[in-house]
Amino acid sequence: MEVVKNREAAAAFEELAMPLFDQLYNFAHWLAQDRMEAEDLVQETYAKALRGFSSFQPGTNFRAWMYRILRNTFLTSRTGLKAATVGLDLEEVAELPAAAESPEALLIDQSQREILQAALEEIPVHYREILLLCEAEEMSYKEIAETLSIPIGTVMSRLSRARGALRDRLNKKMAA
């Protein structure tokens, strides 16, 4: 009976988790910035999530749960620890002034997309991840708060700083 239950749970998990595979991999690759590491991250995430699936509350946000596991796995990895140290005092970083001349209008073609991708890779990981969750994953502030285990107020302020940092980085790249 227990075996059957486990099997059913595993099947339910597969059904919920596999549709997220591409997104999770994209997110992992953005965080780790390396294919092998991204694969390790995703694999570990799925293994951990399957093991802990019984603790997942049905009806709550499965996607946020998966992203949280992936992110926590990343933050405890060597690359993650290194990356996170850089962003430790991020919340204290002074508000960046809104750019007078906006670089956004220029971001039309492929080469500019590459500049933006490079800028995203260069900003601290805490900014990168929140931008990815918000823009690429189109998560709500509530989902982001769940994923990052932070209050919604912090989501808003960090998102604002992340956007400012990206803008700043882009301006520097455009100027160069």
Partner 1 sequence: MDQWTEKLDAYLDGELSTPEMSDVQQHVRGCPACAADILSRVQMKRAVQAAATARFRPSAEFRQRVRAQIAPRSGLMPVRIWAIAAALLIIVSLVLLSGRERKMARQQVFREIADLHVSALASANPVDVVSTDRHTVKPWFQGKLPFTFNLPEVQNSEFILVGGRIAYAEQSPGAELIYQVRKHQISVFIFEDRAFQTVSDGKAQQRATFNVESWSQNDLRYFVIGDASAQDIHHLAELMRQAAQS
Residues that bind partner 1 (CB under 8 A): 4, 6-8, 10-11, 13-14, 17-18, 21-23, 25-26, 29-30, 35, 38-39, 42-43, 46-47, 50, 95, 98, 102, 104-105, 107, 112-113, 116-117, 120, 131-132, 134-136, 138, 140-141, 156, 159-160, 163, 166-167
Closest approach of partner 1 to the CB of residue 3, in Å: 8
CB of 60 to partner 1, least distance (A): 20
**Closest to 73 in 3D by CA, of 49, 90, 55, 57:** 49
Nearer to partner 1, 23 or 79 (CB): 23
Least Å distance, CB 71 to partner 1, is 15
Euclidean distance between CA atoms 149 and 99, whole angstroms:
30
Residue with tokens 């995703």: 42
Which residue, 93 or 98, is less far from partner 1 as judged by CB?
Answer: 98
**92-95: long-range contacts (C-beta < 8 A, 24 or more apart)?**
93/161, 93/165, 95/160, 95/161, 95/164
Q: Could you give the angle at the alpha carbon of 88 between the alpha carbons of 24 and 159, nearest 5°?
A: 55
